[in-house]
Structure formats: structure tokens, C-alpha cells
């Protein structure tokens, strides 16, 4: 109460709305309280509870109004390549790039022309990807074991919970149905977690076992033990001594060399770059890279691989022009 009075906090809870419930209780209890400061309280609306989301405590949901219109960040969207129609993707790419406007290789482009060309090239690939590859939202706390069956079971719990609440928490039949639904829901979660874990460990990917070790590893900070100083033949224990030892050992003074005399150096203004080969571009565009975050266009390496396999000559012509002219396009 002293803190509430000191900072002039406002209670957002709807009076009488319970936030905690267990089967042996007659009615839900108000345990979870939501407070807001004076500066933000007028921007908060729609305070409500979300019962039975997997805890005895109900979820608390409210909206904070803002003058700025916000959209879903592109980082939370991904192309779901597991459900991609690669046949359609390649067919559309071939049709789209059938008459792609590329000049004679011997004619030099201006920088602006190259920017326009590459922007058109990129936009066509993105548009084809949008039409043949579904997108999925990546939630911050997404569970890899979640599936449609669990979603249906959770909806069943919410429906029964609303009915039980409407009866004034007096119907024993609804109470029993709700308990059975909860038991089924939580048992199914355990089964799905076990299935997902087993499938994860059964992968042929040699890196999976190391990921499993990192998932189960306890992240606890431990004090660095005493270090042996070979120069003084003593053990050091203080933080400053350890820090100095690490710094001196890992970052020794660089070797001293005489300065280079560049008086007679003549710069060669004509750099001769070798021509791009098909195998170089193929190795770059078809290499399997995992864990790389896509840029604003959401195009991943997997999509680049499929695009290159569909139109390898277009890729080669475009990259040859860029490398021959030594220009890196803005897009």
C-alpha cells in the first residue's frame, strides 16, 4: 500500500473478477493485480482475464493504445518452405524471366541502370515466392511441439470453463467435464513433447546431438578458479589479477617491424578480374546454409537454391555483368 500511494498507482482489475482457481475452491480468488502509473493509465483499455491457459492463474490481457500505427515486424514472418510448391515456383520463374531485359554483355550499363535491373530481378523472385510459398508467423515463445490437436483441446477447456463460470461454479457435471478436459490436455502435451524430443534425437543430422546438449545444459555462472602464474610460480585468486593474466596471455604485444617505404610504389589503376565461371556461381547459389536470418525480402538460401536451379542462365548473366563492371547494387 505504501508503494501504491507513493507512486499513485491505479488498479486496472475489473472488480470481483477472479484470477486464480482450483477445483476445491468455491469461487475464483483475486490474487493477480494489475497496476498502472498516472502517465499510462488513460491509454489502457479492455482489461480481461483468459482462463485455463495451462495454469491455476488465469492469463491477464489488456491493450495499450498508441498514436503510432504499428505493423507486424518482418522479422516475425517467414516463408514456410516446408509447404512450398517448388514445381509451381520454378514454372512461374521460367515464365516470368522468359523475356527478361538484359543487354548485350559487351554494352556497359550505368550504375542507375544496374540498380533498376537488379531491383526488377529481385522483385520478380519475391513476387513468385509470395504466390507459391505460404508464410508463417514466428512467435517469440513458439513451441515446436504444438499442433492442431492441442489447439482443439485448449479451445474445449476454454468453452467448458465459460460454461462452468456461467453456472456460478455450482454445476458438478460441468466441473467434472472441465477436469477431464484439463487432464486430457496436459497429458497430450506430455506425449507431444516426448514425441518431438525423440524425433529430434533420431535425426541423421550430426549436429542434433550437440544442440540437445546445449538445450539441457544448465546455464549457471561459476567463479573462475584460481589461476597458476607460470612467471611467478604462484596461484592468483583476485579478479584484477585474473583479468591481467588473461589480457597478457591472450593479447601479447605485437612484434615490432620497420616502417614500409612506399616512395617508389606505383599504383596499378587497371585491375584485371577473371571472368565469372558457371561452377563458381553454382557453388555459391546452391550451397546449403543453415541458420541465416533473411533480410527484409524474406528470401532464404533455400529459396535462392530453387530459384537458381530454375533459371541458372539468368543468374549467370546478371552476376557476370555486376562482377565485370565491379558494381555492387543498392538493393
Above 80 in pLDDT, residue 279? yes
Among residues 64, 83, 115, the one where a domain terminates is 64
How does pLDDT run across 216-250, given as a tens digit for each residue? 666 566 677 888 888 888 888 888 888 888 888 88
Structure confidence by residue, pLDDT tens digits, 37-60:
988 888 888 888 886 666 788 889
Flag whether 287 is in a domain: yes
Q: Is 235 inside any structural domain?
A: no
Distance CA 126, CA 113 (A): 20
Same domain flag for 167 and 210: yes
Residue 288 within a domain: yes
Last residue of a domain, one of 178, 196, 216: 216
Task: Answer whether residue 251 is part of any domain.
Answer: no
Using alpha carbons, select from 57, 61, 36 the residue that is nearest to residue 49: 61
pLDDT per residue as tens digits for the range 165-215:
888 888 889 888 988 998 999 899 999 989 988 888 887 667 777 777 776
| Site of grid cell 583479468 | 243
Q: Which residue range forms the structural domain that includes residue 52?
A: 2-64
Does residue 243 fall inside a structural domain?
no
Whether 256 is covered by a domain: the verdict is no
pLDDT tens sequence across 28-37: 889 999 999 9
Taking the CB of residue 315, how many other CB atoms lie within 10 A of it? 21
- Tell me, what's the pLDDT at 74? 44
Query: From CA 318, how far away is CA 99, in angstroms rounded?
Result: 14
Q: From 12, 38, 64, give the residue that closes a domain.
A: 64
pLDDT of residue 98: 87
Same domain as 211, residue 152: yes
Q: Residue 281: phi, psi to the nearest 5?
A: -65, -40
Q: Does the residue 142 lie in any domain?
A: no
Total domain count for the chain? 3
For residue 330, is it within any domain? no
Residue 20 confidence class, pLDDT cut points 50, 70, 90: confident
Amino acid at each position: 500500500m505504501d508503494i501504491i500511494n507513493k507512486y499513485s498507482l491505479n488498479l486496472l482489475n475489473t472488480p470481483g473478477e477472479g484470477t486464480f482457481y482450483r477445483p476445491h475452491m468455491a469461487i475464483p480468488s483475486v490474487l493477480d493485480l494489475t497496476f498502472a502509473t498516472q502517465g499510462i493509465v488513460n491509454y489502457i483499455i479492455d482489461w480481461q482475464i483468459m482462463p485455463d491457459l495451462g495454469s491455476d492463474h488465469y492469463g491477464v490481457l489488456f491493450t495499450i493504445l498508441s498514436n503510432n500505427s504499428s505493423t507486424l515486424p518482418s522479422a516475425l514472418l517467414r516463408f514456410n518452405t516446408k509447404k512450398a510448391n517448388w514445381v509451381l515456383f520454378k514454372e512461374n520463374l521460367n515464365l516470368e524471366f522468359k523475356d527478361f531485359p538484359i543487354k548485350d554483355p559487351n554494352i556497359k550499363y550505368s550504375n542507375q541502370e544496374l540498380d533498376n535491373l537488379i531491383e526488377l530481378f529481385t522483385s520478380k523472385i519475391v513476387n513468385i515466392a509470395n504466390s507459391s510459398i505460404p508464410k508463417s508467423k514466428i512467435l517469440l515463445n513458439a513451441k515446436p511441439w504444438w499442433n492442431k490437436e492441442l489447439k482443439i483441446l485448449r479451445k474445449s477447456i476454454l468453452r467448458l470453463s465459460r460454461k462452468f463460470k456461467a453456472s456460478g461454479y455450482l454445476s458438478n457435471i460441468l466441473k467434472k467435464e472441465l477436469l477431464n478436459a484439463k487432464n486430457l490436455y496436459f497429458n497430450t502435451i506430455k506425449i507431444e513433447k516426448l514425441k518431438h524430443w525423440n524425433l529430434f534425437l533420431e535425426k541423421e543430422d550430426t549436429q542434433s546431438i550437440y544442440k540437445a546438449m546445449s538445450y539441457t545444459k544448465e546455464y549457471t555462472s561459476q567463479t573462475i578458479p584460481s589461476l597458476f602464474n607460470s612467471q611467478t610460480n604462484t596461484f592468483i585468486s583476485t579478479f584484477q589479477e585474473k583479468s591481467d593474466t588473461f589480457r597478457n596471455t591472450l593479447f601479447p604485444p605485437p612484434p615490432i617491424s620497420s616502417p614500409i617505404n612506399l616512395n617508389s610504389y606505383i599504383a596499378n589503376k587497371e585491375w584485371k578480374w577473371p571472368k565469372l565461371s558457371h561452377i563458381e556461381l553454382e557453388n555459391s547459389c546452391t550451397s546449403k546454409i543453415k541458420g541465416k536470418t533473411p533480410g527484409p525480402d524474406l528470401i532464404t538460401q533455400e529459396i535462392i537454391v530453387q530459384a537458381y536451379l530454375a533459371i541458372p542462365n539468368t543468374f549467370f548473366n546478371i552476376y557476370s555483368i555486376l562482377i565485370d563492371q565491379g558494381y555492387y547494387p543498392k538493393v
